[in-house]
Amino acid sequence: MEFAELIKTPRADNVVLHRPFHPAVEGTLCLTGHHLILSSRRHDNAEELWLLHSNIDSIEKRFVGSLGTIIIKCKDLRIIQLDIPGMEECLNIASSIEALSTLDSVTLMYPFFYRPMFEVVEDGWHSFLPEREFELLSSVTSDWRLSYVNKEFSVCPSYPPIVTVPKSIDDEALRKVATFRHGGRFPVLSYYHKKNGMVMMRSSQPLTGTNGRRCKEDEKLINATLRAGKRGYIIDTRSLNVAQQARAKGGGFEQEVHYPQWRRIHKSIERYNILQESLIKLVEACNDQSHNMDRWLSKLEASNWLTHIKEILTAACLAAQCIDREGASVLVHGTEGTDSTLQVTSLAQIILDPRCRTIHGFQSLVEREWLQAGHPFQQRCAQSAYSNSKQKWEAPVFLLFLDCVWQILRQFPCSFEFSEHFLIMLFEHAYASQFGTFLGNNENERCKLKLPQKTMSLWSWVNRPPELSRFKNPLFEANSLVIWPSVAPQSLQLWEGVFLRWNRSSKFLDEAYEEMINIIEYNRELQAKVNALRRQLAELETDDGMQESP
């Protein structure tokens, strides 16, 4: 196999593994095509490291005499150190790790080789089909239809083959609108608010350019989502300034004159490299072992991470507010409509729709609003906080979304069916996974890669009962209401579960979590026992009663 060429030293003995809060472990290091494995060769096999090469963000090597040290920084933010005796072995291993963690071809990635050890109950690749979603929609409204205009990915390469559009707009009009929107991303339905029939649409920016080009079909399409006499909001995720500048490059925004029924609101959400730099700075601050409080707070502030969280949440709350409180429909877009747009539309749904706060509903949301909506996972998650190379396309857009969900979860700890662990798991798998779900940048690429045929879906694994139970929130009590999070700085916190995860012992917090589960489970057990006894008694007593009654 071709990986063999990349592995000059497949194993090394007497390697010492150092991890924070764990005693050092000595063992044998093995390199395979996709994993770095350290085994202490103890009988209990307790001390082992299995690390996906694709999880490795960067490595550093150091030598003291002939003892080499490799510091491995992972995309899940953990940092580990391997002491490898022998300079040549160490160099070989380092260069193998480097090569194996930066494979060019997607088809060489682990998901294409992974063979699950579990029985698939439900194939995750078919768990969230647009048709099924549409069935739910058709039960409450008949204003919408499924369009197959993009089935060859020819109208919009980053859209899925099937999209939901207003019934009154035909495919021909959609084709025209696509030419008027950046990347062909014409407005499509994102969310239907059952309570009042208002909708949220998403798209990319209109290509108005400097001379104010307009497109009648575009106007007709988005007006078709308004009820007679009603008006809507366009939430542009760029500042007015940035939106105006976009015109010079052929982009732009909806002008009032052509869209008189719409009010435009600009909410600035940062993009790309600014977000990536923010992540790098935040993680650096979290890894700073200095005991200086001023330094910590100033680094936390300078990273701007929480500022981004606040901005994204605010825009999402605003969208939700327009829909639920103002009773208005909303169109959300930024430039491409693949990043900040999706953060806003998906978070607004978390706020508005209790279904999105269940495990299955949240998966469906990620599937609809991120995967099928064409968020370029492969580009965005190619590197994480330790990347040295400054490539333009990496950005923790999805991680920011998960962080925002965590913030809402923290404020409404009983309203989500899933726990923080579920969000952390999604973060890990978005960056490195044995499953094919987050490979590729859109449905088009996933189709070409034949991912459903060749790889396993993350959902196939997650939705097995033993896994599900790990991700369930013990405090969950179904809450059918809209939940309005606070976006005040006092209410937003650093997500310790991700950013301080490897820097401290979580023993006490874990114990507290276990205690919480114990309390609740014991209650349920008792409940069951009492109910059983009551039933038993009732039966006996009726018998009794019958005997006694004349």
Partner 1 sequence: MEHIRTPKVENVRFIDRISSRKAALGTLYLTATHVIFVENVSETRKETWILHSQISSIEKQATTATGCPLLIRCKNFQIIQLIIPQERDCHDVYISLIRLTRPVKYEELYCFSFNPKLDKEEREEGWKLVDLNEEYNRMGIPNNYWQISDVNREYGVCDSYPTEVYVPRSATAHIIVGSSKFRSRRRFPALSYYCKDNHASICRSSQPLSGFSARCLEDEQMLQAIRKANPGSDFIYVVDTRPKLNAMANRAAGKGYENEDNYSNIKFQFIGIENIHVMRNSLQKMLEVCELRSPSMSDFLWGLENSGWLKHIKAIMDAGIFIAKAVAEEGVSVLVHCSDGWDRTAQVCSVASLLLDPYYRTLKGFMVLIEKDWVSFGHKFNHRYGNLDGDPKEISPVIDQFIECVWQLMEQFPCAFEFNERFLIHIQHHIYSCQFGNFLCNSQKERQELKIQERTYSLWAHLWKNRVDYMNPLYRADHGQTQETLHPQTAPCNFLYKFWSGMYNRFEKGMHPRQSVIDYLMAVKEETQQLEEELEVLEERLSNLKKVQVNNNKVKNMQQDRNKALRLSASNNSIANTPQEYSNNLKSFPSRSPSQGDEEDSALILTQDNLKSSDPDLSATSDQESGVEDLNCRSPSGGCLPSEDSGKDPDSDEAVFLTA
How far is it, in rounded angstroms, from Cα 463 to Cα 461? 6
Region of 182-190, 226-234, 241-249, 422-430 interacting with partner 1 (CB under 8 A): 226-234
CB-nearer residue toward partner 1: 248 or 537:
537
Confirm or reject binding of residue 228 to partner 1 (CB under 8 A): no
Sites for partner 1 among residues 376-415 (CB under 8 A): 410-415
How far is it, in rounded angstroms, from Cα 449 to Cα 397? 24
Scan for tokens 């680094």, then name that residue. Answer: 299
Interface characters, 70-89, with partner 1 (x: CB under 8 A): --------------------
How far is it, in rounded angstroms, from Cα 425 to Cα 406? 13
- Quickly list DSSP for 180-204: HBGGG---EEEEEETTTTEEEEE--
Residue 331 contacts residue 233 (beta carbons within 8 Å): yes
Q: Please report how close the Cβ of residue 341 comes to partner 1 at its closest, in angstroms.
A: 17
Sites for partner 1 among residues 521-540 (CB under 8 A): 522-523, 526-527, 529-530, 533-534, 536-537, 540
Report in angstroms the alpha-carbon separations of 204 from 64, 332, 335.
54, 8, 5
Residue 81 contacts residue 114 (beta carbons within 8 Å): no
Q: Of 33, 130, 157, 327, which lies in the binding site for partner 1, with binding defined by CB under 8 A?
A: 327
Return all residues near 274 (Cβ < 8 A) that are at least 6 apart: none
CB-nearer residue toward partner 1: 136 or 414:
414
Give the residue from 437, 423, 522 showing the smallest Cα distance to 471: 423
Q: Of 289, 389, 453, 469, which lies in the binding site for partner 1, with binding defined by CB under 8 A?
A: 289
Confirm or reject binding of residue 297 to partner 1 (CB under 8 A): yes
Scan for tokens 């978070």, then name that residue. Answer: 347
CB-nearer residue toward partner 1: 94 or 352:
352
Give the residue from 64, 74, 72 showing the smallest Cα distance to 93: 72
CB-nearer residue toward partner 1: 16 or 265:
265
CB-nearer residue toward partner 1: 153 or 502:
502
Region of 59-67, 82-90, 302-310, 364-372 interacting with partner 1 (CB under 8 A): 302-310
Residue 225 contacts residue 199 (beta carbons within 8 Å): yes
Q: Please report how close the Cβ of residue 316 comes to partner 1 at its closest, in angstroms.
A: 9
Sites for partner 1 among residues 3-62 (CB under 8 A): none
Sites for partner 1 among residues 437-456 (CB under 8 A): none
Q: Of 40, 287, 378, 379, which lies in the binding site for partner 1, with binding defined by CB under 8 A?
A: 287
Sites for partner 1 among residues 265-284 (CB under 8 A): 265, 267
CB-nearer residue toward partner 1: 248 or 520:
520
Confirm or reject binding of residue 546 to partner 1 (CB under 8 A): no
CB-nearer residue toward partner 1: 21 or 63:
21
Q: Of 14, 154, 515, 542, which lies in the binding site for partner 1, with binding defined by CB under 8 A?
A: 515
Confirm or reject binding of residue 321 to partner 1 (CB under 8 A): yes
Confirm or reject binding of residue 424 to partner 1 (CB under 8 A): no
How far is it, in rounded angstroms, from Cα 499 to Cα 287? 9
Confirm or reject binding of residue 328 to partner 1 (CB under 8 A): yes
How far is it, in rounded angstroms, from Cα 508 to Cα 333? 43
Confirm or reject binding of residue 355 to partner 1 (CB under 8 A): no
The packing angle between helices 305-324 and 340-352, to 10°, is 60
Give the residue from 32, 39, 76, 81 showing the smallest Cα distance to 61: 81
Sites for partner 1 among residues 491-510 (CB under 8 A): 491-494, 496, 500, 503-505, 507-509
Q: Please report how close the Cβ of residue 170 comes to partner 1 at its closest, in angstroms.
A: 30
Region of 75-83, 85-93, 301-309, 373-381 interacting with partner 1 (CB under 8 A): 301-309
- CA 468, 473, 478, 481 torsion-angle sign: negative
Q: Of 8, 258, 263, 501, which lies in the binding site for partner 1, with binding defined by CB under 8 A?
A: 263
Interface characters, 178-217, with partner 1 (x: CB under 8 A): -----------------xx---------------------
H or E element, residue 232: strand 232-236
Structure tokens at 494: 């650093």
Confirm or reject binding of residue 326 to partner 1 (CB under 8 A): yes
Confirm or reject binding of residue 324 to partner 1 (CB under 8 A): yes
Q: Please report how close the Cβ of residue 259 comes to partner 1 at its closest, in angstroms.
A: 14
Q: Determine if residue 169 is left, alpha or beta; phi over 0 gives left, psi from -120 to 50 gives alpha, anything else beta.
A: beta
Q: Please report how close the Cβ of residue 21 comes to partner 1 at its closest, in angstroms.
A: 10
Applying CB under 8 A, the site for partner 1 has a residue count of 91
Residue 276 contacts residue 397 (beta carbons within 8 Å): no
Q: Of 56, 72, 200, 286, which lies in the binding site for partner 1, with binding defined by CB under 8 A?
A: 286
Sites for partner 1 among residues 456-475 (CB under 8 A): 475
Q: Which amino acid is at 166?
A: P
Structure tokens at 486: 């606070």
Strand partners for 333: 236
Give the residue from 451, 339, 316 showing the smallest Cα distance to 394: 339
> How do 232-236 and 329-333 pair as beta strands?
parallel
Region of 44-52, 72-80, 102-110, 484-492 interacting with partner 1 (CB under 8 A): 484-492
Scan for tokens 């497949």, then name that residue. Answer: 10
